[in-house]
Copies of this chain bind each other. A is one copy, B any other.
Amino acid sequence: MTDLNSTKKLAVVLASGGMDSCVTTAIASKDYNLAMLHLNYGQRTESRELKAFHDLSDFFSAKYKLVLDTDFFRRVGGSSLTDSRIEVSKADLRAKEIPTSYVPFRNANILSMAVSWAEVLGAKKIFIGAVEEDSSGYPDCRKIFYEKFNELIAFGTKPESNIMIETPLISMKKVEIIKKGIELGAPFHLTWSCYQSENLACGVCDSCAFRLRGFQMARIDDPIPYKIKPNYL
């Protein structure tokens, strides 16, 4: 028997452990061997997200796995995700202002790490489950930001590296992502999205609200446990 995996090229996948990174990993795994990358940066639900990351890496038989710890975001502060003195915003799905969970330039920091690792491994692709629609106004979650980042990579790495960021979900709505995940057999039961708590998802933070609304629109039951499940339709 031929090992099909041995002929696949390598891709780095940035995985928080949430549902978007789960579907992104499912998409990447069709064509690539996986180098899974996760960041502990002092987020409130750090250990629950880390468990989800390991569960996803096992499920998709990742070839490499790297968990990085950084206290950078906590030390720099300025965000309720990492600074316990700032209250987490209640979800407002129509809000136009940048919410308090914004960590300044977070995605640039994370992508830069992924590029460094990709260049060492010789991986040509970096997958990230960024979604513009539910980016809560974070400037560094928009499609244009990733396009600009790809230009930067071309100027900041060795000419032969040819590394590109791939954002397969960037223009999708949550409900479409869920349907795509179901189609690909993505293990949603292993994921974690809540910003607020680690045992039962709170159901009311931005991240829970976007997720629950997506599952409700898809008429599919979200398999993870919630404290409360408001109707977001």
Interface positions of A (Cβ within 8 A of B): 66, 68-73, 75-78, 98, 103-109, 112-113, 115-117, 119-120, 139-140, 142, 144-145, 148-149, 151-153, 155-159
| 11 residue pairs A–B, Cβ–Cβ below 8 Å | A66-B76, A70-B70, A70-B72, A73-B116, A105-B115, A106-B116, A108-B108, A139-B155, A144-B155, A148-B155, A152-B152
With A75-B68, A76-B116, A116-B73 already in contact, the answer to whether A105 and B155 are too (CB < 8 A) is no
Flag if A77 contacts B120 (CB, 8 Å). Answer: yes
3 interchain residue pairs of minimum CB distance: A104-B119, A78-B120, A140-B156
Distance A115 CA – B149 CA, assembled complex (angstroms): 15
Flag if A148 contacts B139 (CB, 8 Å). Answer: no
With A78-B119, A151-B148 already in contact, the answer to whether A157 and B68 are too (CB < 8 A) is no
Flag if A116 contacts B109 (CB, 8 Å). Answer: yes
What residues of chain B lie closer than 8 Å to A72, measured between beta carbons? Answer: 68, 70, 113, 116
Interface centre among A68, A105, A158 (most CB of B within 10 A): A105
Copies of the chain in the assembly: 2
With A98-B158, A156-B140 already in contact, the answer to whether A108 and B104 are too (CB < 8 A) is no
Distance A119 CA – B153 CA, assembled complex (angstroms): 22
Smallest CB separation, A125 vs chain B (Å): 15
Flag if B151 contacts A155 (CB, 8 Å). Answer: no
With A70-B70, A109-B113, A152-B152 already in contact, the answer to whether A139 and B158 are too (CB < 8 A) is yes
What residues of chain B lie closer than 8 Å to A153, measured between beta carbons? Answer: 105
Residue in contact with A105 in the complex, picked from B76, B116, B148, CB distance below 8 Å? B116
With A70-B70, A72-B68 already in contact, the answer to whether A156 and B108 are too (CB < 8 A) is yes
Interface centre among A71, A115, A152 (most CB of B within 10 A): A152
Apart from A108-B108, A139-B156, A151-B152, 18 more pairs, CB < 8 Å: A66-B75, A68-B72, A73-B116, A78-B116, A104-B120, A105-B112, A105-B156, A108-B112, A109-B116, A139-B155, A139-B157, A140-B155, A140-B156, A140-B157, A144-B155, A148-B151, A148-B155, A149-B152
